Amino acid sequence: MGRYWRTLRRFWGTALATQLEYQLNVVVELLAVVLSLGGSLLLLSLFFGPGRELGGWNWNQALIVQGFYTVFDGMTTAWLRPNLGAIVTYVREGTLDFVLLKPIDSQFWVSLRTFAPAGLSEVVLGLGLAGWGAHQSGVVLTPPLLVAVLLMLMVAAVILYSLWFLIAATSIWFVKTWNATEVLRAVLASGRYPLEAYPASLRLLFTLVVPVAFLTTVPAEVLLGRASLPLLALGFVLAGGFFAAARGFWLFALRHYTSASS
């Protein structure tokens, strides 16, 4: 375990060093993040005038959903895209061979190899936005509530990671998986609005097939103190199931790779 921890620190240390080679990029990306969040909020304000509601959510509550969406978008930028997006490159350039020859778990390696600090600003902004929305909605953040929200965010993170990983792992067969991750990204973008803002048929799709609702709407409901216990339990089960699926699929993909790679 200590070895994995030390490796992770080295991974991210080298990642930071690479980013510092391109300092200007960091500034530009920060600017892009602020602009895009501003755009999203403007769009959101068109749906929700002051005092108006949408599917039982008012403006302040919708801000929480938007905030959590921003957190996960930041997580995607900081963690998922740089790592899982690189699996294609490992396969195409054959450097996955080097990963497989290291005495360390290959999923650990490809999932955590690097890190893009630019995405962190989005995470912080998103948390701030959710906090602001909660404050305006009159939420009192007690320690048990905080723990519950953090747990739900972790469940959401595991689901998001597993979805990304499942798609990225298909690049062992199809070197052009990039399009698939774009589709995933588009579907996830639906998570920026509360689930109830969508027609019932789409709602079902989002909750069951691609559990987008668990990324943003459910944590927001927990924060507002109105999530039901069975829903939370379902979240844990889903997270566990998706993670197991991602793990199993990776091992299956590696078996294929080792029988036919070049």
Partner 1 sequence: MITVERLSKTYRVADKQPGLAGTLRHFLRRRQRDVFAVRDVSFEIAPGEMVGFLGANGAGKTTTLKMLCGLIYPSSGQVLVAGHQPQRRHPDFLRRITLVMGQKQQLIWDLPPMDSLRVNAAVYGIPDRVASRRIAELSDLLELGEELTRPVRKLSLGQRMKAELLAALLHEPEVLFLDEPTLGLDVNAQMRVRQFLADYNRRTGATVLLTSHYMADITALCPRVLLIHQGQLFHDGALDRLASRLAPERHVRLELKEPAPAEAFTGLGRLDSLENCEVNLRVEPSSLTRVLAEVLERFEVRDLEVNDPPIDQLIGELFRQGSL
Ligand X SMILES: Nc1ncnc2c1ncn2[C@@H]1O[C@H](COP(=O)(O)OP(=O)(O)O)[C@@H](O)[C@H]1O
Question: How many residues belong to the site for partner 1 (CB under 8 A)?
Answer: 25
Using the minimum distance from each CB to ligand X, give the nearer residue, 42 or 260: 260
CA distance 113 to 10: 9
CA distance 46 to 37: 15
Q: Does 262 bind ligand X (CB under 6 A)?
A: yes
Burial of 148 (0-12, 13-18, 19+ CB in 10 A): middle
Count of Cβ atoms closer than 10 Å to residue 131 Cβ: 16
Question: How many residues belong to the site for ligand X (CB under 6 A)?
Answer: 3
* Helical ranges in the chain per DSSP H: 2-20, 23-47, 59-75, 81-84, 87-93, 96-100, 106-112, 118-136, 143-169, 178-189, 200-204, 217-223, 229-260
Instruction: Provide the minimum distance between the beta carbon of 165 and ligand X in the complex, in angstroms, as a whole number.
Output: 24
Instruction: Provide the minimum distance between the beta carbon of 261 and ligand X in the complex, in angstroms, as a whole number.
Output: 6
Q: Does 10 bind partner 1 (CB under 8 A)?
A: yes
Instruction: Provide the minimum distance between the beta carbon of 84 and partner 1 in the complex, in angstroms, as a whole number.
Output: 18
Using the minimum distance from each CB to ligand X, give the nearer residue, 132 or 257: 257
Site for partner 1 in 12-41 (CB under 8 A): 13-14, 17-18, 21
Q: Residue 92 binds which one of ligand X, partner 1, none, with CB within 5 to 8 A depending on kind?
A: none
Q: Is the dihedral of CA 49, 52, 56, 58 positive or negative?
A: positive
Instruction: Provide the minimum distance between the beta carbon of 16 and partner 1 in the complex, in angstroms, as a whole number.
Output: 10
119 CB-side CA count, 13 A: 18
Site for ligand X in 232-261 (CB under 6 A): 260-261
Q: Residue 11 binds which one of ligand X, partner 1, none, with CB within 5 to 8 A depending on kind?
A: partner 1
Spell out, one character per residue from 84 to 103, where the chain touches partner 1: x when CB under 8 A holds, - when not.
---------xxx-xx-xxxx
Q: Residue 144 binds which one of partner 1, ligand X, none, with CB within 5 to 8 A depending on kind?
A: none
Which residues make up the interface to ligand X (CB under 6 A)? 260-262
